[in-house]
Structure 1
Amino acid sequence: MRASPARRLNKLDWLHAGMAWCQRGIMLILLVPLFACGLPQVRESDKPPSMALRVEEVADTQLGQTMRPLKAAHPGESGIMPLLDAYSAFAARMLLTHSAQKTLDVQYYIWRNDNTGILFLEALRKAAERGVRVRLLLDDNGISGREMDARLAALNKHPNIEVRLFNPFPFRTFKPLGFLTDFSRLNRRMHNKSFTADNMVTIIGGRNVGDEYFGATDGILFADLDVMAIGAVVDDTSQDFDRYWASASAYPLSVLIPAPSDEELQALSAAADKAEKTVTGQGYLKALKESQFIHDFIKGQHAFDWSKVELISDSPDKITGEAKKDELMVFNLARILRNPKESVDLVSPYFVPTQTGVDGFSALARKGINIRILTNALESTDVAAVHAGYAKWRKPLLQAGIRLYEMRSQVAGSGMAKYLGALGSSGSSLHAKTFTIDRSRVFIGSFNFDPRSAQLNTELGFMIESPGLAQQMEQAFKADVPESAYEVRLDENNRLYWLSYQDGVEQRYSVDPGTTLMQRFFVRILSIMPIDWLL
């Protein structure tokens, strides 16, 4: 039988498509040698040394005068203030940028070229115009596009601003090509987040810089958690920034990106004006002006929780694989988690425990330690592959007596969502990284309980000795998690099921709620693949 014209056309389409892909593959293979020349050499003159200012050098600043009596009243301690919603998190950073008089040290994994990202860049430029020294250290995997490169280059041209890119990609047009020739290096990233003003106040936590982290979008919002700190731990944070800033993996932007035109800095200001005038920008800035956080902070009505705070971070040498065991964050976290007395409550958006983690948590559970874990449900995660790395460990964890919760995507009105900053969005994805031990100690930072955070990326966080803050988290688990998340359980036949409680009504699901058969099939396939080390 002769094929129909449509049938013949379909075959020709497939043939043409196949030939096109072959051509692309051949071109890619031919281009690989061009991308194998590596990073440019950095001369001493390209990377002038700089350090955080000493406390006495910033004592006369506005922030210094405000914080000095507080620090004097609490020697050796640090004051902690949780930033419990997205608006407060943005407002606090903007307030510090406007208040700084001498230095701003800013370190992030992701910086979006969107409304909040542009507004922050413009705020840094204005600070530099006032004479503030700005050091901006960004992981190069977390910025994208020629437009963002041009804006950073324009900032870097300012005499009071220096931008460095951590573990950079040498070729800017299509950066992922770098993975073809230097995967082992580029697969390791700087995941740290810190924002420090005048070496007097710092903010650390899980948030990157972008609309989805600060409630400036109508789409998916990341439910996250930051803390603002003053006191002893601020100097520790500044010293940690200094070692990353000076590390061999921090490249001056000027050796990677061509010098900008004179118009680029003006273009940044124009982009900021446009961001403010957009519908999202107008509504967001209005909400910020009405933020209770701003009013309370200005009136001095915010009370800090004073306690012992330990900064824990990876050595930047982790990127090159040269860090010693005791210089790794996971080494210190293992020490902290080794001997809880009563309970561990853990929140991690990308929880991939591996066999080692399952064995460790199971051993604690056998000692009678009450362990509760909150992570993303499949319907709310933004990385399905990571969920696959977690899903295969659910049964062993539950069999050990550990309670598992998976955050739903539509939880904007719940208490836990408000606690973690998920306000006003059409959906949310958990992004906070925190755990509580014995209702007395709290960790808040960038560390996910997954192989990537443990072995590949650098991380930063605070271990806070604060019963008050720990009890807030414990109360959130007790009262709000059941309204915000599915509880995962095992039935009498050792099969998983999910329970949710909405307005006091219990619902039961036999498969991952809110997902399709194709999503579940995809996760199932990924879960049997040996990719945990990448997650």
Structure 2
Amino acid sequence: MTTTRSLLACVLACCMAWLAGCAALPARQPPPPAYALADVGAATLARVAAASTPADAAGRSGLRMLPEGPFSLDARLALAAAAQKSLDLQYYQLQSDSVGFMLLRAARDAAARGVRVRLLVDDFYTAGQDELFSTLAAYPNVQVRLFNPLPERKGSFVGRFIGSAAVFSRINHRMHNKLFIADNSISVAGGRNIGDEYFMQSETANFIDADVLATGPVVREQSAAFDLYWNSAHVWPIEQVVPPLLAPEDARRRFDEIAGPQGPPVPVRAHDVLGKTSVHQQLAEGRLDLMFAKATVLVDQPDKITRTTPAEQFDGSVTQHVMELMDTARTQVLIISPYFIPGRRGMERLGRAVGNGVKVTIYTNSLSSTDEPLVYLGYARYRDDLLKLGFEIYEVAPHRGASTNLGAFGTSISRLHAKISVVDDDRIFVGSMNLDSRSARINTEIGLIVESAEVVREFRRLIPARGFQSAYRLRLSDSGRVEWLEPREDGGFTVHHDNPGTNWIAEFWNWFNALFVGEEQL
């Protein structure tokens, strides 16, 4: 769902809601609170995590970058298959496609082994999935909850939008968090939702994204963050929103029909781009290949979605903490954000850093690669000034995905979805937060700050020595116009004087739509 379509849906929703009433949620019945399981030391995953931890770890967490989609999917499936106590899954979007069904089947199978499964999904993109999640919850040991559910349950995304238009604030505020925790011992977290395009399985477009696998103290922090949301007043058990229509046995049979049979595994290479074997193989060998460093969880409070003033929304947010981290930069800041709209506050803070001699590099989507063109136009309002101030800007070239070495894009285009900030040579943030107003004030977010030169060096290995070969580098011409420099194999550049990969009709349409959407909503 693009912002443009959301805008049109909103306009239509307001008109329809005025003509005919809107749906309403039943009164919420608070479910009993539940928390991460602490008695997991005897579980296989806990023992592997312990065996992988050196004696001098001294409170540091074990970490591994997962920049490739197939390896990141393998990690989740391998952890689900090895879990013996619990699986806690929290996602903004969990699609009904091959990857989504793969993960849900893995959760079902874990529950059948006696594993407690808790699945928390934001309700924005669940159109048509009520039956799927309701029947999954019919399995013993499985609980499914929805964050900030929409009142209207029937129809398409637009139909639900229309039926829920009377409570637009409920529609507009979402849980953007992504988190996967197995046996309260090993986690996978970062930018990826659950869907084909996040794991290099789409035939049309795939995302450049990143996750971090973790063990040690930071996993307990993540479990506490999960529990914070699981027990929030903004979270509803699926059965209170979608009353069960089938007997449990029939519901389970129906889930099996929807999710389908087990398909072939997603192939992974012998080693990923960083030279590491798959998590599945390492678990089988009883030891994970990890780096150890101090890591801290940043997480928004669930009630951020009810705060009314920009100051209240920003105070204590993940965005605030990341901006404060950038303020401490001595030499350089790298911002990787698919949806980058710095706003006045960001321009002041980042501009001050550049003025103090800090090199600030931005890697974001181009207009031809983004799935949110209105967001690009919001960023473009600042783009020329950023270049004038001395920022270095790269925009993803959609046809150059192969140059990332992050997987086989084939004929699909590449789009950026990773959310990473690197400060100097020793600190890195990886999480769900975009550098825009929506992440700062409207949605909830989660992420990790890692303090480690080793981890930063490992991440920088993903960037070719010649720079971002997957992107256009932007510059200003002598006349002050933006130019896009596309890398060539001979080391030179092809210069584009107009926004590459687009046409004036598309740009005009996007500009026209942008007139109706405030920057704070992008």
Question: When the two structures are superposed, what TM-score results if normalisation uses the length of structure 1?
Answer: 0.87
Q: In structure 2, what residue type is equivalent to 1:251?
A: W
Q: Flag the 1:402–1:142 CA change in 2: closer, same or farther, 3 A.
A: same
The share of aligned pairs that are identical, in percent, is: 35
2:94 is aligned to 111
Q: Flag the 1:258–1:481 CA change in 2: closer, same or farther, 3 A.
A: farther
Correspondent of 1:84 among 57, 67, 71: 67
Cα RMSD after superposing both structures:
2.2
Q: In structure 1, what residue type is equivalent to 2:423?
A: I
1:63 is aligned to 45
Post-superposition offset of 1:289? 8.9
User: Partners of 1:473 and 1:425 in 2: how far apart?
Assistant: 26
Q: What do residues 29-70 of structure 1 show as CA deviations (whole Å, max 9, x unaligned)?
A: 3322x42xx3221224xx12111112xx00011111222244
Residues 421-436 of structure 1: pairs in structure 2 closer than 5 A: 423-424=409-410, 426-436=412-422
The question of 1:53 aligning with 2:26 is answered no
Q: What do residues 134-166 of structure 1 show as CA deviations (whole Å, max 9, x unaligned)?
A: 110000003221xx2111101112230111000
Residues 301-450 of structure 1: pairs in structure 2 closer than 5 A: 302-321=288-307, 326-414=315-403, 416=404, 418=406, 423-424=409-410, 426-450=412-436
Q: Flag the 1:24–1:431 CA change in 2: closer, same or farther, 3 A.
A: closer
**SS in structure 2 at match of 1:483:** coil
1:157 is aligned to 138
Q: In structure 1, what residue type is equivalent to 2:135?
A: A
**SS in structure 1 at match of 2:473:** strand
More helix, by proportion:
1
- On the 8 A contact 2:337/2:435 being kept in 1, the answer is yes
User: Partners of 2:484 and 2:321 in 1: how far apart?
Assistant: 34
- On the 8 A contact 2:191/2:209 being kept in 1, the answer is yes
The question of 1:455 aligning with 2:441 is answered yes
Post-superposition offset of 1:493? 1.3
1:31 is aligned to 20
- On the 8 A contact 1:86/1:422 being kept in 2, the answer is no
The gaps in structure 1 that reach 5 residues or longer are 1-22, 277-281
Q: What do residues 443-462 of structure 1 show as CA deviations (whole Å, max 9, x unaligned)?
A: 00000001100000000000
Q: Flag the 1:475–1:351 CA change in 2: closer, same or farther, 3 A.
A: same
User: Partners of 1:489 and 1:25 in 2: how far apart?
Assistant: 42
Q: What do residues 50-92 of structure 1 show as CA deviations (whole Å, max 9, x unaligned)?
A: 11112xx000111112222444721311011011211011100
**SS in structure 2 at match of 1:327:** coil
User: Partners of 2:198 and 2:225 in 1: how far apart?
Assistant: 24
Post-superposition offset of 1:331? 2.3
Post-superposition offset of 1:477? 4.4
Q: In structure 2, what residue type is equivalent to 1:351?
A: F
Q: In structure 1, what residue type is equivalent to 2:50?
A: R
Q: Flag the 1:24–1:436 CA change in 2: closer, same or farther, 3 A.
A: closer
User: Partners of 1:290 and 1:72 in 2: how far apart?
Assistant: 25
| Equivalences, count | 494
2:126 is aligned to 143
2:251 is aligned to 264
User: Partners of 1:528 and 1:30 in 2: how far apart?
Assistant: 25
- On the 8 A contact 2:137/2:144 being kept in 1, the answer is yes
**SS in structure 2 at match of 1:462:** strand
1:101 is aligned to 84
Q: In structure 1, what residue type is equivalent to 2:139?
A: H
**SS in structure 1 at match of 2:95:** coil
Correspondent of 1:223 among 203, 208, 230: 208
User: Partners of 1:181 and 1:444 in 2: how far apart?
Assistant: 36
Post-superposition offset of 1:525? 3.5
- On the 8 A contact 2:46/2:186 being kept in 1, the answer is no
1:18 is aligned to none
1:185 is aligned to 170
- The structure whose Rg is larger is 1
**SS in structure 2 at match of 1:248:** coil
Q: Flag the 1:121–1:182 CA change in 2: closer, same or farther, 3 A.
A: same
Post-superposition offset of 1:474? 3.8
Post-superposition offset of 1:530? 5.4
The gaps in structure 2 that reach 5 residues or longer are 1-11, 272-276
User: Partners of 2:198 and 2:365 in 1: how far apart?
Assistant: 16
Post-superposition offset of 1:357? 1.4
